[in-house]
Amino acid sequence: MIVELALYLAALLMLLGALFSLLATVGVLRFPDLLTRMHAASKAGAVGGGLLLLAVALVSQDAAVALRALLGILFLLLTTPVAAHLLARVSYQPAAEAGQQVTPPPE
């Protein structure tokens, strides 16, 4: 009974993770500028990947695999915002170094 419940929960987590990853892809393809594309990729992509890894940890029923999946989630949550921040900083630097006016994206 518990094993079947874990399998159904893992399937739900996999579907949600795939949906978030799909939404991140659509956001990267459809959003107009770099910062909104980067936001879609970093936020929805990290959530999608985290949900998929959580499903792997749940369905594996092995402590070593579950620990690796949880460490992967922690790695995603720590590195994705840092990478997005660095990309945003680099996107503003060439315009600022060339003496051009740097304007933030419209809200």
Q: How far is CA 76 from CA 6, 46, 103, in A?
A: 23, 6, 30
The pLDDT of 47-66, averaged and rounded, is 94
- Going by pLDDT thresholds of 50, 70 and 90, the confidence category of residue 65 is very high
| Percentage of the chain exceeding pLDDT 90 | 57
Share of the chain above pLDDT 70, in %: 87
CB atoms within 10 A of CB 92: 14
Q: Which of 43, 40, 42, 48 is nearest to 19 (CA)?
A: 48
What is the pLDDT confidence band of residue 94, given thresholds at 50, 70 and 90?
A: low
At 27 the pLDDT is 92
